[in-house]
Structure 1
Amino acid sequence: MPVSQRHRPQPGTRPRTPEEAWHHLMAGNARFMADERAHPHQDMDVRHRLAQKQAPFAVFFGCGDSRVAAEIIFDQGLGDLFVVRTAGHVVDFSVLGSIEFGVGNLGSPLIVVLGHDSCGAVAAAIASARSGQMPKGYVRDIVERVTPSVFAVAQRGELTPESVEREHVRVTCELLYERSMIIQDAVDAGSLAIVGCEYRLVDGAAHLVHVIGDVGDEVEVSDGDSRI
C-alpha cells in the first residue's frame, strides 16, 4: 500500500494530545519523504473556515533557513501549524511570547523545535569560536546565542557541525521549558510536550533528538551519532 494511503490525514480531525500531534506530524513527514504528499487543508472551504478562527495542533520554532519549511516537510496545510522562525532558532522575548500565545491562547498540545543539518548559524558560531572573531551587525547576537552549544560540545571532544546542531536543538528545548512558566506548567500537567527534531536536507527525514514530556516515542539520534 502506498505511503500516502497508509498515512493520509482524516478530514476534520485535529490531534488533541501531544502524542497524537507528534504521530500526525511523523505521518506527514513519511508522505513527504515518499513524494506522496496529501497537501491537506488548502481548499476554499478551509480558507473560509479559518478566516473565523485558527486552532493549530502544533507550534513550530525553527530556523529561518529557506530549505526548512515546516508545513512542507510535514505535509500540513493552512491552520495546522503555528510557526515561529529565527536564524539558528535562537530564543528571545518575542519568541517566548509567540510560543506562549500558541500554547496558551490557541491550545496547541505540542511544541516542535526544528533544527537541521548544514545550518549557517551553527557554522558561523563554530567559525567564530575557532577564530575568536565575531561577525558584524546584529548577526553577532545570533552567533552569541549559538556559541554556548559550541563550547558544550567542544568540552566533550566531539566538535562537529552535526553534534553542535543536535546540542543546540536540545538546549533550545530546555530554554523554552525553563524560561516560560506557561510552557512549563502545561508540560508538567501533561497537556503539552516539547520535542526537538533534526531535519536532513537531502533525504527529507525529521529525526527525534530530544523530548520533554511524553509523545510515545524515544529519541532516535543521541550524542556521538554521526548518521547525518
Structure 2
Amino acid sequence: MNRRSFFGMAAGAALGVGGLGSGLFNAAPAIAATTLTPDQALEKLKAGNLKYQKAPEVCAADMMKTRETVAKGQNPWAVVLACADSRVAPELVFGGTGLGDLFVCRNAGNMADVATMGSIEYAVEHLGAPLIVVLGHERCGAIAAACEVAEKGTKLPGSIGPMVKAILPAAKAMRGKPGDYVDNVVKESARLTAKKITEKSPIVSEFIHHGKVKVVYGRYDLDTGAVEFLG
C-alpha cells in the first residue's frame, strides 16, 4: 500500500465510513495479518510477562530465524504505547517477543500525540493488530514532572513543559487522593490515554465497534518486572 491510498482510507474513516465491507477493512498488509483475537493477544502478552518475571534468561529471541521473513512485511499482533524510559522495553517486558510481533510506539509519559495516534491507526487499519496496550510505569519521570507542575506551578525548560501538558489533567485529578501521588497519576494518565485512543480515533473506534480491536492499559513495575493490567 502506498502512502496516498493509506491516507485516503483514513480520511474515509473520519468521514464516517463503516461496516465490515467498507474500504476501511479491505487493505491487505504485505503479509497476512495475525489471526489472533484481541483477547488471545492480551493473554499472550500476559503469558510473556510472566515468563519475563520468572525466567528472564530464556527471553532472548532467535532473530536469525525471523529476520528474513519479517523483512518482507509485518503482521504484529499487538500495539504497545510505552514510555521512552530506557528501563521500559516492551519487547523484553512481554517475554522476549520476536521481530515483527509488537508494533511499539514510545515517548516520554506514553502519550497519544498526533504522530503516535497516526502510528496506532496504521497498525490497526493496515497491519491488522487486534490489541492496543497503553503501558505506564512505576516512577515515571514525565509523570513526576507533570505532578510538580500541578502542585507547585513549576516552569519546565525547553519543550519539556509543553510535552507534559497532556499529563496535567490526570495530575490535577489525582491531587489529594489517597496513596502515592505520582503512582496514582501513572495509572490515571494511562487510563485517560487509552480512553482518548478509544474515543478520538475514528479508525480505532470503528474496529472496536466491530469487535476487531481492544484497547487496554496497565502499569509496569520497575522493581518486580510485573505488568498489572488495569482496564
Task: Tell me, yes or no, whether TM beats 0.5.
Answer: yes
Aligned equivalent of 2:151:
130
Aligned equivalent of 1:71:
91
User: What letter matches 2:145 in structure 1?
Assistant: A
Residue 133 (structure 2) aligned to one of 105, 109, 112: 112
Note closer, same or farther for the CA distance 1:53–1:15 as it changes in structure 2 (3 Å cut).
Answer: same
1:183 pairs with 2:204: yes
1:39: Cα distance to partner?
Answer: 3.6
Instruction: List aligned pairs for 1:12-23, cutoff 5 A.
Output: 16-23=36-43
Residue 61 (structure 1) aligned to one of 81, 91, 97: 81
Residue 45 (structure 1) aligned to one of 65, 77, 92: 65
Residues 66-94 of structure 1 show CA distances to partners (whole Å, capped at 9, x for unaligned) of 00000000021110000001100122111
Residue 192 (structure 2) aligned to one of 133, 158, 171: 171
* DSSP 3-state at the match of 1:71: helix
Asked which structure has the greater RCO (Cα within 8 Å, sep 6+), the reply is: 2
User: What letter matches 2:71 in structure 1?
Assistant: A
Gaps of 5+ in 2: 1-33
Conserved? CA contact 1:113–1:173, under 8 Å: yes
Residues 192-222 of structure 1 show CA distances to partners (whole Å, capped at 9, x for unaligned) of 0011010000100000112xxxxxxxxxxxx
Q: Which runs of 4+ in 1 moved over 6 A?
A: none
The CA distance in 2 between the partners of 1:41 and 1:53, in whole Å, is 19
Note closer, same or farther for the CA distance 1:204–1:91 as it changes in structure 2 (3 Å cut).
Answer: same
Residues 35-71 of structure 1 show CA distances to partners (whole Å, capped at 9, x for unaligned) of 2454475332311111111100001111100000000
* DSSP 3-state at the match of 2:157: coil
Aligned equivalent of 1:200:
221
Note closer, same or farther for the CA distance 1:34–1:71 as it changes in structure 2 (3 Å cut).
Answer: same
Note closer, same or farther for the CA distance 1:15–1:207 as it changes in structure 2 (3 Å cut).
Answer: farther
Conserved? CA contact 1:113–1:196, under 8 Å: yes
Among all aligned residue pairs of Structure 1 and Structure 2, give the percentage whose two residues are the same amino acid.
37
Residues 70-125 of structure 1 show CA distances to partners (whole Å, capped at 9, x for unaligned) of 00000211100000011001221111100001100100000010100100011111
1:103 pairs with 2:124: yes
Q: How many residues are matched?
A: 197
Conserved? CA contact 2:63–2:98, under 8 Å: no
* DSSP 3-state at the match of 2:219: strand
Conserved? CA contact 2:37–2:212, under 8 Å: yes
Gaps of 5+ in 1: 1-13, 211-228
Aligned equivalent of 1:6:
none
TM-score, length basis structure 1: 0.82
The CA distance in 1 between the partners of 2:60 and 2:87, in whole Å, is 20
Aligned equivalent of 1:32:
52
RMSD: 1.6
* DSSP 3-state at the match of 1:83: strand
Aligned equivalent of 1:91:
112
User: What letter matches 2:50 in structure 1?
Assistant: A
The CA distance in 1 between the partners of 2:148 and 2:100, in whole Å, is 38
Conserved? CA contact 1:125–1:147, under 8 Å: yes
